[in-house]
Structure 1
C-alpha cells in the first residue's frame, strides 16, 4: 500500500491560492447573494429615471448597454473560473473515493481473486495509476 501517494495529500499541496483565486472566490460569494441582485436593479432604476438628464436618447441607451455588457463579460469570466474550480474539487473528491474503494477491493482480493480484475478496471477507468 505504500507504493502510491494518497490522493488527499496531492489535494493538500494545492491549498496555496493565488490572489486572483481569492478574488474570484470573494466575488462569487458576493454576486451569488440577493443583495447583488438588488444592486443591479438599483443601477437599472437609476439609469431609467436619468433619461431627462441625457440630451440624446441613443446615448442614454448606449450607456446602459455598455455598462451591462462589460459587467456581464467580467462576471461571466469570474463565474466560469469559480465553476471550474468547483468542478475540479468535486472530481478530486470522487478520485479519493475511487482510490479508497480500489484499496478496499485490493485488500479483499486476497480472499476473492475475482476482485483483482475489478480493481484493475477501476484503477484504469479513474486513472489512478497515472496520477500516482
Structure 2
C-alpha cells in the first residue's frame, strides 16, 4: 500500500452554524456539503468534515498558511480567536516552521504553521 495524502479529517462540533462561521471567516475556507450530508470546508486536496456530536471530545490538527506569522497573529487577534501557544520557531522534518496554536469554538486545538 502506498498512501500519499489525507482525504479528510472529521472535526467534532456542537453547533454547525458557529463552526461554519468560524472556519469560513477566520480561515477564509469555502464551505461545502459533503456526500455524507455533513457540512465541511474545502482545503483543495482534502476536506474538514464537521460532525455534530452530543458531547465534543476535542481533537488536534495542523494547518499550513502562506501568510507571515505576524499577519497570522494579527488576523487571529482581530477575530478574537483564543491563542493557547504564542508563535514559536522549530524544525520539523528538516524544515523551519513558525507555529501558533489556537482553539476553535469547541476547543479543538489547531496549530497554524508558516513554513520557511
- Provide TM-score, normalisation by structure 1: 0.21
With a CA cutoff of 8 Å and minimum separation of 6, indicate the structure with the bigger relative contact order.
1
Larger of the two Rg values belongs to structure: 1
- Provide TM-score, normalisation by structure 2: 0.23
Higher strand share: 2
